[in-house]
Amino acid sequence: MCALLAMAAVRHAHNLPGTLKIGPEGLSVWSKAGILRAQGRITGCSQWSGSALMVWGEEDGGRLHRLLIMADMLERGVFRELAVLARRSAHA
């Protein structure tokens, strides 16, 4: 049982978002293992004060991905820049 739990924990850690890219073509989220987890254009964005940011991305096939980013996950300036880029992309 311990080995099974350890394997599940390692798999979960590799699937966590490791890299987030926002650009003119949209949003892409890569896992820590280097696997593309989600990619598409930004269709919406919500920000709760300076503490959390929710970004919605839609793939070409219509699948919707939601990404919740907490402010303490990033440096303060990086979080602000990400929020501005997400809002601009959502309204474009």
| Beta carbons within 8 Å of 10's beta carbon, 6+ residues apart | none
Greatest Cα-to-Cα distance within the chain, rounded to the nearest angstrom? 50
Set out the domains of the chain in order of their start, with CATH numbers: 2-91 (2.30.29.30)
Instruction: Give counts: helices (H), strands (E), the chain.
Output: 2, 5
Which residue type does 21 have?
K
Query: In angstroms, rounded to a whole number, what is the distance separating the alpha carbons of residues 38 and 64?
Result: 9
Task: Per residue of the chain (92 residues), give pLDDT as tens.
Answer: 888 888 888 877 776 767 888 777 778 888 877 888 888 888 888 888 888 989 888 888 888 888 888 888 888 888 888 888 888 877 76
pTM: 0.67
pLDDT on residue 59: 83
Q: Which residue has the tokens 């303490």?
A: 72
